[in-house]
Amino acid sequence: MQLTDKRLVVRVNETTYEIGDDDWQAYTAEYKLAYSDYLLKNSAKWTILSDNEQVELLKEAHKKGHEAAKKWYMAKYGIKEKR
């Protein structure tokens, strides 16, 4: 996932898909839900983590959010990921 010219693109199987305005709200909702869910599940240990571990936890939450949003987008458009 990356932003290019203020547009989000997702790469699947070496193909780039641009998230259009019609899908943006649902895409970001999927992202936010998974991101928040991951943080809630791991929030109990937040205070015992070092700064670096907290950063890694936030990175993992971002990854989980992106994966969920990408999965939603792929399901909506019937995109299959090669294995």
- 3-state SS string for 16-78: EEECCHHHHHHHHHHHHHHHHHHHHHHHHHHHHCCHHHHHHHHHHHHHHHHHHHHHHHHHHHC
Are the C-beta atoms of residues 65 and 38 closer than 8 Å to each other? yes
Whether pLDDT at 32 is above 50: yes
Q: 60, 61, 72: which is closest to 19 by C-alpha?
A: 72
pTM comes to: 0.82
The pLDDT > 70 percentage for the chain reads: 90
